[in-house]
Chains A and B, each alone.
Chain A
Amino acid sequence: MNNKKNPLSPHIQIYSWHISSLISISHRITGVINIIALTFISIWISSMLFGATSYELTKSILNSFIGKFIIIGIIWSFNFQILSEIRHLFWDLGYGFELKISKITGLMVIFGSFILTVLIYLGGR
């Protein structure tokens, strides 16, 4: 039966967000962001073919506020994906399915990704 008047479920306005659903959708979004980021990194590497003089423009973009914001964003997105992937790998081994543990590891992914981003960015300075 195909009734288009049926309400969609879960309705976005009344849907109660949980750690698990937040991590799940963020895992997918950061996965797509990472592949876009790697494509830009590929363009960055390719831009070096034009030589040192042309690279000055790339360098000035990367050193601008927007450039730094993008680099920090990429580092966070990669960190989120790394931690979330480790969580998935533990699930595949049969660990961490209990509700309490799952919530704790979910929070570890969220907060850990921000902490790692700060540490890695400052470590690189």
Chain B
Amino acid sequence: MVSATKKWIFLKASSVILVPLMMWFVINLAAIYDKSFDEVLAFFTTQPSKFLISLLMIVAFFYSALSISEIFEDYVENQEIKNVANKLLYLFVIIVPSLTIFVIFKLSL
């Protein structure tokens, strides 16, 4: 399979997962953002929100890596700068969700 086709399939599959996840997240964000420490902690550390927020982080950052690399492809002319930007992007999208999931599990202990 051509790599561009593979990338398109990954992009579409992740967007199908993201649509309901993002809707679930914004509804809950509006409900909890101004609540007390205990209420916010309970939201992030109990199921199913613990699983869903972890899934949202993984899929959203994966989707962003694919789509932001497309923006680099369209607007960054210099190949070396593009390569560095892509590597930094991939590093960022691995570190942030991994750390968040680690924190969520640490908070649940």
Is the Cβ of B64 less than 8 Å from the Cβ of A34?
A: yes
- Give the secondary structure class of B's interface: helix
How many of chain B's residues have a CB under 8 angstroms from any CB in A? 40
Q: Any chain A CB within 8 A of the CB of B5?
A: no
A-B contact count (CB 8 A): 99
Residues from chain B with Cβ under 8 Å of A79 in the complex: 26
Residues from chain B with Cβ under 8 Å of A39 in the complex: 96
Contact of A59 among B23, B28, B36 (CB under 8 A): B36
Q: Any chain A CB within 8 A of the CB of B83?
A: no
Is the Cβ of A62 less than 8 Å from the Cβ of B34?
A: yes
**A91 smallest CB distance to B (angstroms):** 11
Q: List 26 A-B contacts (CB under 8 A).
A: A35-B64, A38-B56, A38-B57, A38-B61, A41-B29, A42-B99, A45-B53, A45-B103, A46-B99, A46-B100, A48-B44, A48-B103, A51-B37, A52-B37, A55-B37, A67-B33, A71-B33, A75-B26, A78-B22, A82-B19, A92-B12, A120-B26, A123-B27, A124-B28, A124-B29, A125-B30
Residues of chain B touching chain A, judged by Cβ–Cβ distance below 8 Å, are 12, 15-16, 18-19, 22-23, 25-34, 36-38, 40-41, 44, 53, 56-57, 60-61, 64, 67-68, 71, 96-97, 99-100, 103-104, 106-107
